[in-house]
A and B are shown apart, each in its own frame.
Chain A
Amino acid sequence: MADKHYRLGCDIGGTFTDFVLLDDRTGELHINKCLTTPRDPSDAVEQGILELQERIPGFVEELDEVIHGTTLVINSIIERKGARTGLITTKGFRDVLELGREIRYAPYDAFAEFPEPLIPRSLRLEVDERVRYDGTVQRPLDFDEVEAVARELIGAGVESIAVCLLNSFENPAHELMIKEAIEELAPGLSVSISYEVLPQIREYERTSTTVTNAYVKPLTGRYLKKLASRLESLGSRGKLFVMLSSGGITSVETAAEFPVRIIESGPTAAVISGQYYGKLFGLPEMFCFDMGGTTAKSCLIQGGVAGVVPTFEVGRVQRFMKGSGLSIQVPVVDLMEIGAGGGSIAKVSRMGTLQVGPESSGADPGPICYQRGGTEPGVTDADLLLGYLDENYFLGGEMTLDKAAAEKGIQEKIAEPLGVTLLQAIWGIHDLINETMAAAAKTHIAEKGGNPKVVTLAAFGGAGPVHAYGLSKKLGAPRLMVPPNAGVGSALGFFTAPRAFDLVRSHKVALAAADFTELENIFLDLEAEGKRTLKKTGAVEEITFERSVDVRFVGQGSETNIEIPEEDLGSARKETIRGRFDRIYQKLYGRTYPDTPVELINFRVRARLPERLLRLQKPARKKGQQKSAVKGRRSAYSGLAGDFIPHTVYDRYKLFAGAKFKGPAIVEERESTVVVGEDATASVDEYGFLWIDLPGGG
């Protein structure tokens, strides 16, 4: 095994497929990028590996692990390219999928559209069975009926079947019997049952999640199989892992069984690398902020751990409108995504005010200054005119930006109609997009019980470092960090991701009436299942389990998650659990009510293998003049001064560890530009990270 010392991370995005190769002996990283091949994404993977091999001959044979993130699953849902899928459900409930939760997400809009269900009504069939809310059987399953229904779906040409019965989270017997029957009737046909996908209360959310899983299962399975065999034929003997939306990584087998779990696989890697930095630098609260061309994604990391939320919405028919997509309940890293990016379009609203985003011109045609036919002024145009970007050093000089065209566009489309100066307009665009992000960030941080005045902001993405200083000011954040090379920065997450799997089961019981010995069995069941799943990765290391339970006041609709560190719940005291709940509730909502009884709702287990360590390479500490890193000076806008002032421009690649300088400054690297205001101080640490301290934070 000693010769297997490489790990390869590979992220298939909408436009590019990114590769990071890590040499575990030295911590050295190699990067590569090639265009994504949508028809068969594994084409790009092969191409990228072959290119890397030209640089590092023979590494493929020495691969220990290949870790993979993909947007394939989410795209096939958005584009409706999944399998022809059928649903088997309890008699009387085949329309649950289509009726949803029946809320109008835009109350004053009678024309607001809603998404079509993934399975048409004619392929949603029923069986006459019933389980009660407490798991007892009211009407037993009829095997002949199951067979007839399954045959009908198979006859209709379905490639995949979802099974979701009422109250099955309390008793899965009927779902398991149906699964067995289908497997007998049509061996090899893809089956997803709700008890295995999401054993949780609320039938619409459970059905929708199970159906989505079934819908993408055949294609995910085929794709992963193909990818594995391609890697093998290239000579790799390493294990293939897939990134989960919850931030862990899992085996190909598990990913193929529960593809709905890898839906946000791509963007999650950035968060995981943020977690790693949070731990590496011991940051108690960190706000990861990744701003690209179309959207900004951000996430609060507390104590080196990102929050995971149980819900996700996919394929919103109205962009960024909460409630206009398909609801899926799987653990997803708590990413907040808003329509704010370099391509966000600025325009004058009907109210006669400035509006920036959420519409975006993206990368193509992009903002006006790209000179690719874009006619709508965008954030990057403003950033250019404010002096933050260098028209001759965009993407390291690969692309020249047109300043005059950007100026003309903003003058005509924004400044004149609003009756403000050009300067007010360009600063307004920059400042407003920062405000939009800050407002969303504040809500997000508050919901997690964090405090924006103590967070360290970590900036990623092409536009992230340009806006990070302004965003920090608005949040009142005292410190800002920009890792070297934003691209690598996020892909590092593949190597630091925990190998973990999350499991949940619903079971409602009042704390006062709870039999802890009995509840311990739920945890043991979940742990056994977690163990089985992790063993599929071929792991031999010790598995650890983290238990938690969702608790609420009796009758309350929403739960608060509390940890259960006890190894045996049976020996725990009820007062201990209650005290833990009250402390967390108080922290989140200001006050708690110890006299009001509580109940337990969902039992959760995260099963994990020990973390693999990553040694970041420390760049050689070059003695030299900091001056040599100075590229020159240019005039850029300062919000504090309310005017253009001279900024020192640094070359990031020449800034050595220990370098220290004051704003106003601009630090340029190929993929991005860091703005340092005149009240801030920057320094470079031993890993090459840029740290910017702001005064008066807090």
Chain B
Amino acid sequence: MMAKFDPITLEILWRRLISIVDEADSTVSRTAFSSLLRDAHDYTCMFTDRKGRELAQGTFATPGQSGAMALGIKNLIKKLPDETYRPGDVFITNDPWALAGHLNDVCVISPIFYKKKLAAFAACVFHHSDIGGRVSSDNHEVYEDGLFIPLVKLYERGEPNQAVFEMIRWNVRTPDAVIGDIRSQIAANHVCAEKIGQMLDEYRLEGLDDLTDEIIGRTEKSMRAAIEKIPDGVYKTEGIIEQMEGREDVVIRAAVQVRGSDVVVDLDGSSPHVNWGGNVVYNFTYAYVFMALKSIFDPDIPNNDGCTAPISMRAPEGSVVNCTFPVAVAARMQIGHFLTEIVYRALAEAVPDRVIAASGGTPASMNVFYGKRNDGRPFHSVIIRGGGMGASSANDGYYDYIFPANGANTPVEIFESDTPLIVEKRELLCDSGGPGKMRGGLGRRVVFRVPDDSYAPIPPVSLGIQSGRFRYPPEGLFGGKPGAKARFLINNRKGNSYGLTQLNPGDVVVMDAAGGGGYGDPRDRDPEQVKRDVAEGYVSEKSAAEDYGVYVEPVVEGEEKK
């Protein structure tokens, strides 16, 4: 192919594209309503060329959404003839199979026209706190998960489709926030469209086709060069993901085949559907397989269609990693997030310095609290959390993060003003990091209390949970030991993390996030590091002695600490 852009102009235009998406991204954080978007940044903006090939995404993208969007938008656009789109159209859908795997992830797509011709698409997926339905991970069918919006026009030639807005409004619990956040999505796409037009004007380009070829081509080349460095072969592993007690565990089999600059991940032999919401659609499975390979091979280059080109995936239809309509999918992250660590484990021997041990933030934990305050006003708050990250050959595991997904916590003071609940604790858990030459990141305890004084809400308070690691801890690598398991206690008794829990005034809920796995033999850890960990309360004297073989003199009360 003849290069239509010299390498310098190309870099300039490429940077411009990314800065345009970042501008759209920052519009969201200023206009969104729910704290899940504004405080926790659970959304992704991107745009594609007119064929739906991803060109650029926001720097703070969430890997699950962006990876799934990259596939999903391309497929959607392939199916619709060009005549479908008119200037001023805005599409909306939350079809889990078409996009990001559960109904809460709502995608808004806006075609971008330049000189009356279709030039590109701006798209964004927001994780909406509320999409109606039964908020629980133990649904059987997607109908229970909430409102299903097929691909429809939300705006037609600039005119709002009021029927769709009304349909949404009457099917969710917090219509003002949901509609407000959808408006924020439209605004983000609008920013993208405006700026692309300006860029094309400025550089006198007729469209984005040549630029897309160039950017995607170069990205693919870089990704392939990185893949070529590792020896050819088939790297196999198996991951076991816990299920509710009494049910059979989910098994994911992965064979990662590296041949030249191509990677094929075959998930043949993985478990079939589960009869709760943990089922993962193909796109979302791919997103976290891709996350693993991107972070191993080429984490720095900007994401676009070229990054995914060398990576293909096979997943048996009807399996838990390629589920079919209409199974329940609301809790798909409880299984989907594991794909990254499974691929890491498969490739650990081949690239020991490019992988980390299993993380307590896999899967992410999500809590939905809703009910009524004592004066009858409703409240509804969704919060997300990670755990200790796995250690690597270079570093101890960091804490506490959602990994491989991403997102921020909601400040306690914001949560307490949004709900009648009290947060009594948010602290690191001693000894929860998996021992190793490099120690796993510590898990974190959060304690909630439903007040029983004059602030008591009208019972019950509903609590929906998505989480994991209650039975199997995050494993270590190369002799590193596992991190501590997660726990969910109500009034000191084990709670059911799969159903919807009803809480009453006076109830105390404990959520312990799992710690990250260690890396390397703990006996090889620098004893000074162990002593420091004991002094800071990250590791107990007992664990120092038993796991690390380091004996630390207990500090005598009153003696000066140095």
Contacts and interface: CB of A to CB of B under 8 A. Distances in A.
Given A107-B63, A110-B356, A122-B537, A94 B427 contact: yes
B427 A431 contact: no
B11 interface: yes
Interface string B394-406: 1100111111101
Contacts, number: 213
Interface string A464-507: 00000000000000000000000000000000000000000000
A44 interface: no
A351 interface: yes
A439 B537 contact: no
B8 A353 contact: yes
A618 interface: no
B46 to A, nearest CB: 13
B403 A201 contact: no
Contacts of A508: 417
State the majority secondary structure of interface residues on B.
Answer: mixed
A108 B295 contact: yes
Interface stretch (A173-181, A299-307, A402-410, A552-560): A552-560
A167 B41 CA distance: 24
Number of chain A interface residues as a range: 35 or more
Contact of A556 (B38, B386, B401, B417): B38
A354 B416 contact: no
B60 A107 contact: yes
Given A435-B12, A590-B187, A424 B6 contact: yes
Contacts of B34: 555, 557
A374 to B, nearest CB: 22
B174 to A, nearest CB: 8
A96 interface: yes
B257 interface: no
Nearest to B407: A103
B3 to A, nearest CB: 9
B407 A447 contact: no
A166 interface: yes
Interface stretch (A113-121, A265-273, A282-290, A603-611): A113-121
Interface in B378-418: 385-386, 389, 392, 394-395, 398-404, 406-409, 411-414, 416-417
A155 B560 contact: yes
A431 B38 contact: no
A108 B444 contact: no
Interface residues of B, number: 90
B37 A557 contact: yes
A104 B26 contact: no
B540 interface: no
B402 A558 contact: no
A443 B385 CA distance: 31
A92 B560 contact: no
A84 to B, nearest CB: 11
Contacts of A34: none
Contacts of A109: 295, 299-300
B105 interface: no
Contacts of B409: 99, 101-102
Given A354-B7, A555-B34, A102 B400 contact: yes
A553 B180 contact: yes
A589 interface: yes
Contact of A108 (B303, B392, B417, B535): B303
Given A102-B400, A110-B403, A133-B416, A555 B33 contact: yes
Interface string B426-442: 11100000000000000
B213 to A, nearest CB: 14
Contacts of A122: 535-537, 561
Contact of B7 (A93, A95, A418, A596): A418
Nearest to B57: A107
B27 interface: yes
A106 interface: yes
A92 B11 contact: no
Interface string A657-668: 000000000000
Given A121-B536, A203-B413, A556-B33, A424 B295 contact: no
A108 B33 contact: no
Interface string A184-205: 0000000000000000011111
A589 B27 contact: yes
Contacts of A431: 8, 12
B218 A352 contact: yes
A578 to B, nearest CB: 16
Interface string B221-241: 110010000000000000000
A439 B19 contact: yes
Interface string B521-547: 000000000000001111000000000
Nearest to B225: A350
Nearest to B5: A353
Contact of B301 (A105, A202, A351, A591): A351
Contacts of A108: 63, 291, 294-295, 299, 303
B190 interface: yes
A81 to B, nearest CB: 20
A98 interface: yes
A451 interface: no
A156 B403 contact: no
B16 interface: yes
A615 B322 CA distance: 74
B218 A353 contact: yes
Contacts of B61: 107
A114 B299 CA distance: 17
Contacts of B303: 108
B8 A354 contact: yes
A95 B406 contact: no
B255 interface: no
A108 B223 CA distance: 14
B333 to A, nearest CB: 15
Given A102-B385, A110-B356, A435-B15, A201 B413 contact: yes
B14 A353 contact: yes
A355 interface: yes
Interface string B13-47: 01110010011001101111111011111000000
Given A439-B16, A555-B176, A92 B447 contact: yes
Interface string B292-323: 00110001110100000000000000000000
Given A93-B412, A122-B561, A440-B19, A111 B219 contact: no
A443 B8 contact: no
A413 to B, nearest CB: 14
Contacts of B30: 558, 588-589
B291 A102 contact: no
A355 B8 contact: no
B177 interface: yes
A628 interface: no
A627 interface: no
Contacts of A435: 12, 15-16
14 contacts: A92-B447, A95-B428, A102-B402, A109-B299, A110-B355, A111-B356, A121-B428, A133-B413, A157-B560, A167-B416, A353-B218, A355-B11, A558-B29, A593-B180
Interface of A: 91-96, 98-99, 101-111, 113-114, 120-122, 130, 132-133, 138, 155-157, 166-167, 201-205, 349-355, 418-420, 424-425, 427-428, 431-432, 435-436, 439-440, 442-443, 446-447, 508, 553-558, 588-591, 593, 596
Given A91-B425, A201-B414, A589-B30, 18 more contacts: A99-B400, A99-B426, A103-B40, A108-B63, A114-B398, A138-B422, A202-B411, A353-B8, A353-B11, A354-B11, A419-B7, A420-B7, A428-B8, A432-B11, A447-B26, A553-B180, A557-B29, A591-B183
Interface of B: 6-8, 10-12, 14-16, 19, 22-23, 26-27, 29-35, 37-41, 60-63, 174, 176-177, 180, 183, 187, 190, 218-219, 221-222, 225, 291, 294-295, 299-301, 303, 355-356, 385-386, 389, 392, 394-395, 398-404, 406-409, 411-414, 416-417, 422-428, 444, 447, 455, 535-538, 560-561
